[in-house]
Amino acid sequence: MIRHLFKLIWNRKKSNFLLMTEIFFCFLVLFGVMSLVVYNVRNYTKPLGFEHDNVWLLTMRPSADSAALNHQKLEQVVQQVRAYPEVSHAALTNSNAPFAFSQMTDNLSYGNKRSSQADHYEVDDDYEDVLQVQLSQGRWFGPEDNAAHHKPIVINREMQRQLFGEEEPLGKLIPQNDSVNYQVVGIVDHFRGYSEYSAERPAFFTRISLQQSDKSFWGELLIRVKPGTGVAFEEKMVQEISGIGKDWTLEVATLEKMRQNKSKLTMVPMIALGLVCGFLILNVALGLFGVLWYNISRRNGEIGLRRALGASANQVYRQFIGEVLVLATFGLLLGVAFAVQFPLLQVFEVESVVYFLALGISVVVIYILVVGCALYPSRQAATIHPAIALHEE
């Protein structure tokens, strides 16, 4: 039966060419959209590596005062913020705070291995408590690093995989330049600070110490406030900090709000592409339904003859459903052959499982689409009375 259906559709390939072409292009568009959806959903389900609830970001832009004076004021601001009873912890960081529209990347090398565009976070000792970062090995930065011979560094598992493989990284020295080395003191399993939809990237943390710095200015202060702290405290804090850093530009935002803004950047394109894909599928479905209805109406004589020779209504019904499935298979063969090149060639450096999942979902959706379009016309064909059909012929 299956062989007969394939032979039947192949013999009518010219009349079915447009339908197979529509199915092919519909599959390609669906595959592209589903690849994006699967990629983002998989990333979303992975742990961020930190807790962003009840965390505020205070952004400070200094005035034209000298670097030393601004550095001194910054120390006063940090002490002031940490002294508030509403504040649990506060930590300085660079402009690439979690969910910020900023990235700082660097490449590290160990032996003959090199990391690829690793995220670099400059943080102080309280950063672990502010974001509740969970270390799986080693320790976080602390006062003991003040007298260290090498710069302490904390890395994530992805960085460990790229630089050390199966080798134990704790205590290892990573050259920064000819005279300075990083020393690995801790490891975190995950840290995805750019977006909850971003993939895991190699990342490392270096230490900020106001007492040992060269009067540099770090303009971002992450603040973990106690639950229930609201706008009243925010206004009070900004007002008092403005008294320390006169003419400074201050801005306060919550990490939750920043997370939502970052999510919109991912969701809006996905929704737009989904609407375009849905419109295309709807047009393909309407066209497929119309063509199937027309083709079945032209085959009344064939249907009547089959019924007169003893074929049941279910057999006629299954034949037309089978023809549509074979037609879809011909349209999908070239599409699948094209789609499998993405995981094989590692296009866009995305995990192969993303492409294979998107491919499988797209194939299932196309089969459901064509079967849904064929159900009603096939059922109508199965109810044709043989005497009426042969009489019309």
**Residue after which a domain boundary falls, among 247, 274, 306:** 247
Which residues are bridge partners to 152 per DSSP? 183
Number of domains in the chain: 2
Distance between start and end Cα atoms, the chain: 26
Question: What integer pLDDT is reported at residue 195 of this predicted model?
Answer: 92
- 299 domain residue, yes or no: yes
Q: From CA 158, how far away is CA 135, in angstroms rounded?
A: 14
- Residue 274 — left, alpha, or beta (φ > 0 → left; ψ -120 to 50 → alpha)? alpha
- 298 domain residue, yes or no: yes
Extract the residue ranges of the chain whose pLDDT is less than 50. Answer: 389
DSSP label at 61?
E
Question: What integer pLDDT is reported at residue 206 of this predicted model?
Answer: 94
- 215 domain residue, yes or no: yes
Question: What integer pLDDT is reported at residue 2 of this predicted model?
Answer: 57
| 12-21 LR contacts (CB < 8 Å, sep 24+) | 13/330, 16/327, 16/330, 19/287, 19/288, 19/291, 19/327, 19/331, 20/327, 20/330, 20/331, 21/331
User: Phi and psi dihedrals of 38, rounded to 5?
Assistant: -65, -40
| Secondary structure element (H or E) that encloses residue 55, with its range | strand 55-61
191 & 336 share domain: no
- 252 domain residue, yes or no: no
333 & 299 share domain: yes
89 & 179 share domain: yes
| Secondary structure element (H or E) that encloses residue 364, with its range | helix 352-382
228 & 268 share domain: no
Question: What integer pLDDT is reported at residue 382 of this predicted model?
Answer: 63
316 & 340 share domain: yes
- 53 domain residue, yes or no: no
Answer whether 384's CB lies under 8 Å from 303's CB.
Answer: yes
- 54 domain residue, yes or no: no
Answer whether 185's CB lies under 8 Å from 138's CB.
Answer: yes
**Residue after which a domain boundary falls, among 247, 279, 308:** 247
278 & 173 share domain: no
**Which residue type does 179 have?**
S
287 & 243 share domain: no
123 & 203 share domain: yes
Instruction: Dump pLDDT digits (tens) for 76-95.
Output: 999 999 999 999 999 999 99
Q: From CA 105, how far away is CA 382, in angstroms rounded?
A: 65
Average model confidence (pLDDT) for the chain? 86
| Closest by CA position to 203, among listed 221, 189, 217, 185 | 189
188 & 227 share domain: yes
- 340 domain residue, yes or no: yes
72 & 206 share domain: yes
234 & 344 share domain: no
- 256 domain residue, yes or no: no
Q: Which residues contact 59 (CB under 8 A, 6 or more apart)?
A: 219, 220, 250, 251, 252, 253
Q: From CA 389, how far away is CA 197, in angstroms rounded?
A: 58
* pTM: predicted TM-score of the whole model, two decimal places: 0.84
Domain that holds residue 201: 63-247
**Residue after which a domain boundary falls, among 247, 282, 317:** 247
104 & 197 share domain: yes
Q: What angle do CA 111, 113, 117 make, to 5 degrees?
A: 130
